[in-house]
A and B are shown apart, each in its own frame.
Chain A
């Protein structure tokens, strides 16, 4: 019998014209029937390459097998051995560059939709980890309640350490709450994961900026933590350094996204102001640029341009998100490099002046270097610009911690496999070490550091 190969189960998405009207999630999850069908496509390779592609080595065939037998709870438990946040990673991990890129089916057919299956398991599983047993090992302070800090805290609790997480914002979650918009990652999912961590015994202290409210040395010497894990992220935005960049109307992506995601500035019942005109340009080609562009559409901009100095193929953003943004009407201008911002008659931003670029020889990043085309100056009339060209750690922790070695971009010098720093009792991981990277990479660093901290203390 000539049986047709089962096809990759598509993820249902909401219609673009409907979804730009609100902040509800764009991609819907699988039904149990879809999840089972997709799971059954998995060949259960004896030497699974997908696992090699995962920064935290989730037992992917193992959890997929549990879905074929309709046991999402058991599937989630398999994932949680190595990844405490499946509902989050299923949504925001770049699976197409990691596990799915290595899937054996990717060569001949379409890879297994590992991300959607992970999300399915995470969403369906009841959060029911019991409070950790006796926390009799030495106490650890975690600086920052983002992906690296939360993961490290969960692992340390399981290893019997009392953990206190210090967070500068009024709400824990880090980039998961201030950066990634609701339509990609509903905040309720993040809140639920955090409640779960608190149930396990984690203490979270918000409104504490380590380095100002309390220093790392005070945490160790006065508050008697035996070790500190620094996971403060890369929160300080880069700007372009162009003339006119400080004109009112030019936002860093961090500011725009924080106003919308964390402060709900677009809602009239929240006090935080947001001013966004009809025509908005976003500068950058990464996920943060796309998040900004798509958020701008949702808070009322009628035209959103995305200016990127290289071409589509070089965009660091996830392909799926680029597709979503195009469907929603974001207008892409590739090989376009801003050189100056011009004021309008009220001395607010009025125009961006750009140069046309062409691609040259590869640069240090391995991507073709964009080169300006002579006399190609052109102008866009805009009300606002959102600059999304990356971020780095701020300098506060490095400056206020004795003998903690940092690099010129404020990242903390730490061993990537252990998180060890120049101070034996201080460990670091996530974006504060690597500069801005992915949620899953930060989680991997948190996990490795928890193990090293435990080894150091016991």
Chain B
């Protein structure tokens, strides 16, 4: 059993949870994830670990209540527990002194790009972070990202905060204007990661994306999370979740992510 220590609402439907998981807190690195099962009849589902405190044994998760299990998860109160929590899983982010790094987060992906930005800053990189949100009240972790970035760019789809439009477009304009980056990280919805990868391809900037396909076990067993990367079949749980965005077949990924959607909608009605 993995008790929830605290739960805080960051934005509508987006929560930050602090969970006691000593075995993960001591070993997790940026970019890795855990697989949860809330209760006896629950499904197994992956969530990226945003931060951890090895001293206290807490891990921090940022959850968007979008599906059946994530809605149930954010409804758990401090003191209640998650039945099963496996991790850390996946390969950690490769952090080095790249030089100038752009970290783009889209939606809840902003929370996932934060530990990478933090690690890049600690490794001596110049970090420019981009927060992309649909609207002002969905802008996440502004202070946290600001504290680890040399520059913070905020974009909203409706223009209610920062620049109106997408982070990928801002990045494209800045590249056109002659700005250069040595490494780009982009985490968010599939179309966002695809756009960023398309923007950086002509400039040949290595662009790392973090994929979130459907998976059951998270240990390399089910093959449900298989993705095509540079023509090769990879398992996101074991070989990823991060890949070179220029090599990922995003159309295939998007199609596979949708496969159980009608089932999900049916369950949501019963919640």
Given the contacts A249-B259, A275-B259, A212 and B87 also touching, CB distance less than 8 Å: yes
Looking at chain B's contact residues, is the secondary structure mostly helix, strand, loop, or mixed?
Answer: mixed
Q: Is A394's CB under 8 angstroms from B238's CB? A: yes
Q: Considering the chains assembled together, what is the distance between the CA atoms of A271 and B224 in angstroms?
A: 17
Count of interface residues, chain B, beta-carbon cutoff 8 Å: 41
Given the contacts A208-B23, A236-B221, A396-B220, A263 and B43 also touching, CB distance less than 8 Å: yes
The reply on B267 being an interface residue by CB < 8 A is yes
Q: Is B255's CB under 8 angstroms from A239's CB? A: no
Residues of A within 8 A of B23 (CB): 207-208, 213-214
Q: Is A212's CB under 8 angstroms from B228's CB? A: no
Given the contacts A246-B256, A249-B259, A263-B44, A255 and B89 also touching, CB distance less than 8 Å: no
A96 to chain B, nearest CB (A): 29
Q: Considering the chains assembled together, what is the distance between the CA atoms of A259 and B217 in angstroms?
A: 10
Among B69, B87, B222, B235: residue with most chain A CB under 10 A = B222
The reply on A421 being an interface residue by CB < 8 A is no
Complex interface bits, B61-92 against A, C-beta within 8 A gives 1, otherwise 0: 00000001100000000000001111111000
Given the contacts A209-B89, A246-B233, A347-B255, A273 and B43 also touching, CB distance less than 8 Å: yes
Complex interface bits, B245-271 against A, C-beta within 8 A gives 1, otherwise 0: 000000010011011101110010000
Residues of A within 8 A of B233 (CB): 239, 241, 245-246
Given the contacts A258-B217, A396-B238, A207 and B84 also touching, CB distance less than 8 Å: yes
Given the contacts A246-B228, A271-B42, A275-B263, A394 and B219 also touching, CB distance less than 8 Å: yes
Residues of B within 8 A of A170 (CB): 37, 44, 83-84, 86
Count of interface residues, chain A, beta-carbon cutoff 8 Å: 41
The reply on B186 being an interface residue by CB < 8 A is no
Looking at chain A's contact residues, is the secondary structure mostly helix, strand, loop, or mixed?
Answer: loop
Q: Is B223's CB under 8 angstroms from A239's CB? A: yes
Given the contacts A248-B255, A273-B260, A273-B264, A214 and B27 also touching, CB distance less than 8 Å: yes
Q: How many A-B Cβ pairs are below 8 Å? A: 119
The reply on A351 being an interface residue by CB < 8 A is no
B2 to chain A, nearest CB (A): 9
A183 to chain B, nearest CB (A): 21
Given A258-B221, A396-B220, 19 other A-B contacts at CB below 8 A?
A: A168-B217, A170-B83, A170-B86, A207-B85, A235-B219, A235-B220, A236-B220, A236-B223, A246-B226, A246-B233, A246-B252, A252-B223, A252-B224, A255-B221, A270-B43, A273-B43, A275-B260, A348-B255, A394-B238
Complex interface bits, A247-262 against B, C-beta within 8 A gives 1, otherwise 0: 1110110110011000
Q: Considering the chains assembled together, what is the distance between the CA atoms of A258 and B214 in angstroms?
A: 14
Q: Considering the chains assembled together, what is the distance between the CA atoms of A345 and B23 in angstroms?
A: 46
Q: Is A271's CB under 8 angstroms from B238's CB? A: no
Partner of A394 from B83, B85, B220 at Cβ < 8 Å: B220
The reply on A30 being an interface residue by CB < 8 A is no
Contacts A/B (CB < 8 Å), 18 sampled:
A168-B217, A207-B84, A209-B86, A209-B87, A209-B219, A212-B89, A235-B220, A235-B221, A241-B233, A248-B256, A251-B224, A259-B222, A271-B43, A271-B68, A275-B262, A347-B255, A394-B219, A395-B238
Q: Considering the chains assembled together, what is the distance between the CA atoms of A394 and B219 in angstroms?
A: 8
- A-contacting residues of B (Cβ < 8 Å)? 23-24, 27, 37, 41-44, 68-69, 83-89, 216-217, 219-224, 226-228, 233, 235, 238, 252, 255-256, 258-260, 262-264, 267
